[in-house]
Homo-oligomer: A and B are copies of this chain.
């Protein structure tokens, strides 16, 4: 079959780019934190032979419903995603995506996620977080002394909990070395396209953003939510 979409000139060669992706899920993850980046990468999979491992504590479907029952009483509104691997049996990956979500707050125990991030990070080419996903990475000790950002509504709380991180209060996303942290929820779309542009080439990022009909924020310091939530 002819390719669905021609790969543009200027795309990075297949043998030069990371192809093995992982995403960690936990109960009460924020759906769009995961599915913003994942759907841009779904589109990338039309052009590169990529693999995705969906990683969780067990192979049971993981729900967006918060274990803390933050939802309105009597609400029954959630989506469940099927993991492909557990933390115990996930293959080697090149890029890890860590979504945020209300479900990562106490009394939830995030030890398995945090331990996995800590042990896999030295072998990653890139680590990408959305929203409070950066809080989990911070708890793994990987952000100590590094620049990073997070969800702006949770910024002050998280900055107070993890003072060893150089938190950036006005940022759609922040890159420090091979760690890409982004602000709340929809900022995941902007960080993933910045990542695709850098790694797979500008023509690829442009093609895929146009295909998702997404008007990117290409300035990483664009952040009207910094004023709104008084993070700077």
> B213, A152: Cβ atoms under 8 Å?
yes
Cβ of A30 under 8 Å from chain B: yes
| Identity of the chain B residue whose Cβ is nearest the Cβ of A185 in the assembled complex | B212
> A42, B78: Cβ atoms under 8 Å?
yes
| Identity of the chain B residue whose Cβ is nearest the Cβ of A1 in the assembled complex | B69
Chain A 50-63 per-residue mask, 1 if CB under 8 angstroms from chain B, else 0: 11101000000100
In the complex this chain forms, how many copies of it are found? 2
Among A30, A82, A151, A224, the one with the most B-chain Cβ atoms within 10 Å of its Cβ is A82
Which of A33-41, A120-128, A158-166 contacts its partner? A33-41
| Identity of the chain B residue whose Cβ is nearest the Cβ of A213 in the assembled complex | B184
Within 8 A of B (CB), among A35-88: 35-36, 38-39, 41-42, 44-52, 54, 61, 64, 68-82
> A79, B79: Cβ atoms under 8 Å?
no
Cβ of A194 under 8 Å from chain B: no
Cβ of A3 under 8 Å from chain B: yes
Cβ of A96 under 8 Å from chain B: no
CA–CA, A224 to B212, complex, Å?
12
- A213-B184, A213-B186 in contact; A75/B102 too (CB < 8 A)? no
Chain A 149-161 per-residue mask, 1 if CB under 8 angstroms from chain B, else 0: 0011100000000
CA–CA, A166 to B48, complex, Å?
37
Cβ of A215 under 8 Å from chain B: yes
Which of B44, B77, B153, B184 meets A21, CB within 8 Å? B77
Which chain B residues lie closer than 8 Å to A44 at the CB level? Answer: 77
Min CB gap A18→B, angstroms = 13
> B184, A212: Cβ atoms under 8 Å?
yes
CA–CA, A186 to B56, complex, Å?
27
The 8 closest A-B pairs by CB, nearest first: A184-B213, A32-B39, A45-B77, A35-B35, A49-B74, A4-B70, A185-B212, A45-B75
A-B contacts besides A45-B75, A49-B74, A80-B82, 5 pairs, CB < 8 Å = A4-B70, A32-B212, A46-B70, A48-B72, A153-B211
